Amino acid sequence: MIINHPLLGPRDAAEFVYKGDAALIHRPDGMAPDALEKFIDYGYLRDNPAGEHRELWFHEQGDRSWLVVTRNTLTHEITSVELARDVARREGRSK
Amino acid sequence: MRYSGWKVIKEALTGHRGWGPAWRDATPKPAYDYIIIGGGGHGLATAYYLAKQFKQANIAVLEKGWIGGGNVGRNTTIIRSNYLLDGNEPFYEFSLKLWEGLEQELNYNAMVSQRGILNLIHSDAQRDAFTRRGNAMILNGADAELLSTKQILARYPFLNVNDARFPIKGGLAQHRGGTVRHDAVAWGYARGADQHGVDIIQNCEVTGFRIENGTVKGVETSRGFIGAKKVAACVAGSSSRLMEKAGMRLPIESHVLQAFVSEGLKPVLPGVITFGAGHFYCSQSDKGGLVFGGDIDGYNSYAQRGNLPVIEDVAEGGMAIFPMLGRARLLRMWGGIMDMSMDGSPIIDRTHIDGLYFNGGWCYGGFKATPASGFAYAHLLATDRPHDTATAYRFDRFAKGRMIDEKGMGNQPNLH
């Protein structure tokens, strides 16, 4: 697989480490009354879809940026690559 | 029909006209007491033990494709019980004991071959870890022996023990481990289940569950609704896709694991060798092919095929300790979908829906577990209590902090 890095261009997927579902960007609020239940879900339960999947890839052998890659788990086709920072900001996770 | 030497001679003299199919091609009845979803090794074993051992009747196995067409036909056929933790080792040792009696039990030649498995040691720390593991195995009634490099070379003279990065300093052997003809396991259990009245229904995909007031009433399938008192999911890599239809999210990611086989060679490799540090393991099939593999690719996939970097990694690992491998040509390679759980260990448990049961999360180690998984799942279905060796395989272990994490990797499925 080739991941089209937004800053560095096309890179071999072997340079990256796979870090799971991009929903993990949304870490639950530890002070919420239902925090325990939310963290069990966050830590251990996954959607694991067959088809389009948004996921985190860490460029460990490169510029060490985190990416959100949208990839089809049935075909391995990659349809979009964004910096995780931009996604997190857009979704209100970071200032 | 019983298979025997006499039967083979009789059929040889009468033109092989009396064999007949090994199981019926059943059409679904309107309702069953038990429906097992998934006609792989675990599902067929469950049906067999449920009918034979636990004397239950009115059982169907529903299979989306054909039986034995999933992971039971795509694995590297190794059996062993070399686990460390209390939640695992008694279960896998129970499984190995069932393997040892399987062919007599089923009257079917599954080519169970206890040729031994060897885990290589490269450092003092690893020797300590394997010593501890071997002791845990012995405490649970399994066999284990630490071998010196000299002992290893006596059996495997072709190994490169002087690799610069991973010199071989010894190994942990389990002599009762080995290999089994994987397709024959599916066929043998299917035939045994069929003989005990189980309906094996192929080309029947489950498309949904009918659940009323928190109780399962049956399944919607590509061949219409089929009612059931108890429904047992047993679909390995497709677990998340199936259980989503019942509104459940699982502690599982599906990953692709690749495997490889070389052209057929004369016997060169008498046992199973695992080179964990180099992501490589290998055995030789009875047909002569060197069967080998390594790590999972590491990303979610349902594609049943992997990518080139892992192929390169496996080949490098193989060449490092096993240089003669370079003279063999690769014949085939393929991928299977692993139900990687959050702690690397499986689940055999009830769900929060009455009458709906779940078996999955086998990671890349499901094949060796086939007999015990079937036995323990049948025990749970028949008695509503877990089997003695499978009490730890619960859904709630993640919430309660009772993970069974052999490698101590945490909740990162691609590291198990």
Nearest to A76 among B301, B398, B411 (CB): B301
Residue A94 has pLDDT above 80, yes or no: no
B216 phi and psi, to 5 degrees? -80, 135
On chain A, the residues whose CB falls within 8 A of the CB of B64 are none
Q: Which domains does chain B have, with CATH numbers?
A: 26-77+183-251+344-415 (3.50.50.60), 113-178+253-341 (3.30.9.10)
pLDDT tens readout for residues A6-59:
999 999 999 999 999 999 999 999 999 999 999 999 999 999 999 999 999 999
pLDDT tens readout for residues B237-273:
999 999 999 999 999 999 999 999 999 999 999 999 9
Q: What percent of chain B has pLDDT over 90?
A: 100
Domain ranges in chain A? 2-90
- Domain boundaries A2-90, CATH class: alpha beta
The answer to whether residue B125 neighbours chain A at the CB level (below 8 Å) is no
pLDDT tens readout for residues B183-224:
999 999 999 999 999 999 999 999 999 999 999 999 999 999
pLDDT tens readout for residues B51-60:
999 999 999 9
The one-letter amino acid code at A90 reads: R
CA distances, B386 to each of B51, B53, B270, B347, B376 (Å): 17, 15, 38, 11, 7
In angstroms, rounded to a whole number, what is the distance separating the alpha carbons of residues A63 and B139? Answer: 49
A49 to chain B: closest CA residue: B241
The CA-CA-CA angle for residues B84, B90, B93, to 5°, reads 95
DSSP labels, B242-284: HHHTTT--BSEEEEEEEEEEEEE-SS---SEEEEGGGTEEEEE
**Three-state secondary-structure class, residue A72:** strand
On chain B, the residues whose CB falls within 8 A of the CB of A55 are 299-300
CA distances, B133 to each of B124, B130, B173, B410 (Å): 14, 5, 11, 20
Cα distance from A15 to chain B (closest Cα, Å)? 10
On chain A, the residues whose CB falls within 8 A of the CB of B398 are 40, 43-44
B116 phi and psi, to 5 degrees? 95, 145
Mean pLDDT, chain B, as a whole number?
A: 97
pLDDT tens readout for residues B23-51:
999 999 999 999 999 999 999 999 999 99
Phi-psi region of A9 (alpha: psi -120 to 50; beta: other; left: phi over 0): left
**B303 with A43: Cβ contact below 8 A:** no
Cα distance from B26 to chain A (closest Cα, Å)? 30
In angstroms, rounded to a whole number, what is the distance separating the alpha carbons of residues B303 and B309? Answer: 16
The CA-CA-CA angle for residues B81, B84, B87, to 5°, reads 90
Q: B215 Cβ partners below 8 Å, 6+ apart?
A: B353, B354, B355
B301 to chain A: closest CA residue: A73
Q: What pLDDT score does B253 carry? A: 98
pLDDT tens readout for residues A57-81:
999 999 999 999 999 999 999 999 9
Confidence of residue A95 (pLDDT cuts 50, 70, 90): low
Radius of gyration (C-alpha) of chain A in whole angstroms: 14
E strands of B49-116, at which residues? 59-62, 78-79
Nearest to B342 among A21, A44, A47 (CB): A44
8-state DSSP, A67: E
Cα distance from A91 to chain B (closest Cα, Å)? 23
Q: Which B positions 163-222 lie with beta carbon below 8 A of chain A?
A: none
**Three-state secondary-structure class, residue B359:** strand
Q: What pLDDT score does B168 carry? A: 97
**A43 with B411: Cβ contact below 8 A:** yes
**A46 with B240: Cβ contact below 8 A:** yes
pLDDT tens readout for residues B81-114:
999 999 999 999 999 999 999 999 999 999 999 9
Mean pLDDT over B6-32 rounds to 95
pLDDT tens readout for residues B260-269:
999 999 999 9
